Structure 1
Amino acid sequence: MDSIRLKARAKINLGLDVLGKRDDGYHEVRMIMQTVGIYDRIIIKKIPEDEIRINSNLFFLPVNENNLIYKAARMMKDEYNIKEGVEIDLNKFIPVAAGMAGGSTDAASTLFGMNKIFDLGISQSKLMEMGLKIGADVPYCIMRGTALAEGIGEKLTRLTPMPHCWLIVAKPPINVSTKLVYESLDMGGISKHPDIDGIMDAIKRGDVEGVAQKMGNVLEDVTIPLYPVIDSIKKQMLKNGAIGAMMSGSGPTVFGIFPDEQTALGCQAVLKAQGEARQVYITETFN
């Protein structure tokens, strides 16, 4: 195999709780992760030169060692003594710096794809272990589906798949630093911890409405005061038929769960007309 085409899928958090800060500076989290239909397209090709080349449809993305794709490719080449090079074409559709693990899922797909085209036979668990060296979300992006994430996000437990539902994903024209949000979180001032166990129970019962009612993200306490537009988009979604709406990850992306595609389409039209969100997508849960 000389090349491979991949869909690097985005994630949302159906619940995000922070339990405390560790001595190493990382935070202990408890999150429900869910893969969605939005994806970046990645094509990986072998090249004879011992190089890593990245091409992107977005001019502002780095195509050097500052890109997680590069880090993943370099790790594979170094650890498995791969002498050939790779050219990686990235067509990016997942919003950037949006709390949807866009960079992590691109890195995950690079590890997966290079494993395939160089016929390395690396197990999924080993790929996940390697991915953790790149970022806390990379192991989940290799596993995908519905999962409970604990520790710094690397301890993963596969859950009953989230029932199919329609989603709107809306990103306002701002970028948020995950590092800054976590550093600014006041553990003592968290207004409400989400009911992670309750969300898992609702998923198990196939109760989409139950999931929507119990969703929560403690990082909203930090990001919404900095960017009130996030709260405004949430309110618009709820006003226009969402059964639940929440910020994903550290933000600023907001997603809403809808009872059907028609209601989601109506809300999408309202959000686009209102103009607070630059990118507004309709998508679905993916398992």
Structure 2
Amino acid sequence: MKKIIIDAHAKINLSLDVLKRREDGYHELEMIMQQIALKDVITIEERDAGFTIASNSKEIPLDQSNLVYKAYNVMAKKFNINKGIHIYIEKNIPVAGGLAGGSTDAAAVLKGLNTLWKLNLREDQLMDIGLKIGADVPYCIMGGTALAKGIGEKLTRLKSFSDRLILIANPGLNISTADVYNNLKLEKITDRPHTENMLKYIEKGDTELVAKEMKNVLEGVTIKENPILNKIKEQMISHGALGSLMSGSGPTIFGIFSDSTDLAKCEENLKYSIKTVLSTKTV
């Protein structure tokens, strides 16, 4: 019985700008994406027939609505493969947290099946397939540090921004990404990310300037409706974070720290009131 185990890393947005609403209903974005060490672990095992999903988490669907199933289905149909597969998802990334947890699991399945079925697809070919599953999936296949445009599928690899100390805080709020985008008033956005500056600071490896320049225009919707998120940001800054930002449409907030002692103190403080608090780093 063939088996493969793949890490599926979470992502954070170092910046997120929404440029316009497209005619197809999607939004034109400009974002800087960064993978972090926090990860799910995906085990893919060949079976005689059928497709099944299991997980240690009760918060994710184990049916056809899971992006993991969609990843398997796309690959099986595209390459006319009729082999049974069982997938186990060790879920460590907070669910629906703006950290691409579902997308990174799907990306891991695409990469895993490519190896297991000896398809020999290139990364760019896997990314094209990934886009059929979700806008964040191509980035999750690429990984690292990247500039993303379009709906997130036009990717440019950037100089690595790895080994920066990150604190993640997720209060467990139920945030609808669709609602956040629908409630975003593009004409009222005045404080946008300066992407060109961010690109320069990443190229220089200047953690402090990157952290201070971080912006996410979706905060104007999500944080306005959920003031606790701003309190988390303030707590991170008061405990020495160089900068703090909401990832994606939320509700996860992260902080970049230069001092591990400051991070540990902040983590301890937030754990009293916040559902999920995790220390990690960029990769």
Q: TM-score, with normalisation over the residues of structure 1?
A: 0.97
Matched residue count: 283
- The residue number in structure 2 matching 1:43 is 43
- The residue number in structure 2 matching 1:114 is 113
Stretches of structure 2 that go unaligned for 5 or more consecutive residues are none
- In 2, the alpha carbon distance for the partners of 1:175 and 1:34 equals 23
- In 2, the alpha carbon distance for the partners of 1:191 and 1:38 equals 33
- In 2, the alpha carbon distance for the partners of 1:59 and 1:265 equals 29
- In 1, the alpha carbon distance for the partners of 2:231 and 2:56 equals 30
Task: Give the CA deviation at 1:221.
Answer: 0.4
Q: Is this contact kept in 1: 2:60–2:95, CA < 8 A?
A: no
Q: Is this contact kept in 1: 2:162–2:281, CA < 8 A?
A: no
Q: Secondary structure at the match of 2:64?
A: coil
- The residue number in structure 1 matching 2:75 is 76
Task: Give the CA deviation at 1:283.
Answer: 0.2
Task: Give the CA deviation at 1:190.
Answer: 1.1
- The residue number in structure 1 matching 2:28 is 28
Q: Is this contact kept in 1: 2:4–2:43, CA < 8 A?
A: yes
Runs in 1 of length 4+ with deviation above 3 angstroms? none
1:113-262 correspondence runs (5 A): 113-262=112-261
* Paired AA for residue 46 in structure 1: E
Q: Is this contact kept in 2: 1:5–1:44, CA < 8 A?
A: yes
Stretches of structure 1 that go unaligned for 5 or more consecutive residues are none
* Paired AA for residue 178 in structure 1: T
Task: Give the CA deviation at 1:164.
Answer: 2.3
Q: Secondary structure at the match of 1:175?
A: coil
Q: Secondary structure at the match of 2:147?
A: strand
Show CA shifts across 1:54-87 (max 9, x none): 0011123211110000000011111111111100
Q: TM-score, with normalisation over the residues of structure 2?
A: 0.98
Task: Give the CA deviation at 1:163.
Answer: 4.5
Q: Which moved more, 1:145-154 or 1:156-165?
A: 156-165
Q: Secondary structure at the match of 2:28?
A: strand
- The residue number in structure 2 matching 1:9 is 9
Q: Secondary structure at the match of 1:16?
A: strand
Give percent identity, aligned residues only.
48
1:86-105 correspondence runs (5 A): 86-105=85-104
* Paired AA for residue 15 in structure 2: G
CA RMSD of aligned residues (A): 0.9
- The residue number in structure 2 matching 1:284 is 281
